[in-house]
Amino acid sequence: MSGFEVRRHDNGDVSILHLKGFLDAHTAPQFEHALQELVSENRVKIVVSMSDLDYISSAGLGVFMGFIEEIREKDGDIKLSSMSEKVFKVFDLLGFPSLYEIFDDESAALAKFNETN
Amino acid sequence: MKRLKKNKVKIRFPSSTDNLEMIRDFVRKLSLKAGFEEEAADHIALAVDEACTNVIKHAHKYNARRMIDLNVQYTAEKFEVTITDKGKGFDPARMPKPDLDKYMHEARKGGLGIHLMRTLMDEVNYTFNPGVKNQVVLVKYLKPGIA
């Protein structure tokens, strides 16, 4: 049983990862793999869309921390979008809003990438 | 003094991340039954997930043949979860609050869970006797201020 899914959608030079379900220590490697794949393809403009993400634990948050510096060094970024209040609360408790840009919806995150292009 | 009715539930499960979803459901439902609102029940389930994840990773090194004991007891005032393992202990109580900036530079992934547990619960207490019995006790009060 795995209550988690990552779907990738490329939009120009921005890649969108849609997360669905439960992101915990069991499922975090799937997310890690998806990010690793993007980095190895040098696709470093990434939007992580969380409208269907029901749950996140620190194992999931740790994945963001594991990649962000490398991605920013390559002039990319991970922008976060569409998270539920419940998921936002966890990000907020750990101080993530000061490190990551969080947008209400995917298109706003995409627009931010496009304006800096 | 009025004697409070105490409810106790115990489960034992293999030390595998595969079981985290089941554990969260179990703890969440018991928290709701104890009288917590949805949000607090979610927080308790997350804190227990973090504690179990630490045991699976650090104490048992992903060895799913090891077992974790989870004891939940609650009254009208207090909800207490005790997580017990017999693995290699480590002392998270000594870990400082994570410095996210440093984490980012070092691409570190661990240590965030302990901070979450401390933030989400009213009390987090550890006892260590590596290889014999390590315990973490997570407490949340139903009526804030009653200790």
Signed CA dihedral, A69, A71, A72, A73: sign only:
positive
Q: Which of residues 100-139 of B touch A (CB under 8 A)?
A: 100-101, 103-105, 107-110, 112-113, 115-116, 119-120
The amino acid occupying position B36 is: F
Q: How far, in Å, are A114, B15, B43, B87, B99 from residue B93 at the CA level?
A: 45, 22, 20, 17, 16
CA distance B121 to B85: 20
Residue A36 in contact with partner chain B when CB distance is under 8 A: no
The stretch B94-106 carries a mean pLDDT of: 66
Tell me, what's the pLDDT at B4? 61
Tell me, what's the pLDDT at B3? 55
Give percent of chain A above pLDDT 90: 92
SS3 B112: helix
Tell me, what's the pLDDT at B147? 45
Structural domain boundaries in chain B: 7-141
CATH top class, domain B7-141: alpha beta
Residue A97 in contact with partner chain B when CB distance is under 8 A: no
Tell me, what's the pLDDT at A44? 98
CB pairs under 8 A between A and B: 79
Place of tokens 């921005």: A14
Element (H, E) at A10: strand A4-11
In the predicted model, is pLDDT for residue A9 greater than 90?
yes
Closest-CA residue of B relative to A55 is B46
CB A109 within 8 A of CB A79: yes
As its CATH architecture, domain A4-110 has 2-Layer Sandwich (3.30)
Q: How far, in Å, are A57, A77, B62 from residue B69 at the CA level?
A: 21, 41, 16
The stretch B81-87 carries a mean pLDDT of: 94
Q: pLDDT band at residue B112, thresholds of 50, 70 and 90? A: confident
Cross-chain Cβ contact A65/B100 below 8 Å: yes
Residue B39 in contact with partner chain A when CB distance is under 8 A: yes
Residue A74 in contact with partner chain B when CB distance is under 8 A: no
Place of tokens 């948050």: A61
Structural domain boundaries in chain A: 4-110
What is the average pLDDT score of chain B? 87
Structure tokens given for B10: 């115990």
Give the strand pairing for B123-127 and A45-56: unpaired
CA atoms within 13 A on the CB side of B48: 32
Q: Give the list of residues 6+ apart from residue A5 with CB closer than 8 angstroms, or none.
A: A18, A19, A20, A21
ipTM of the complex: 0.91
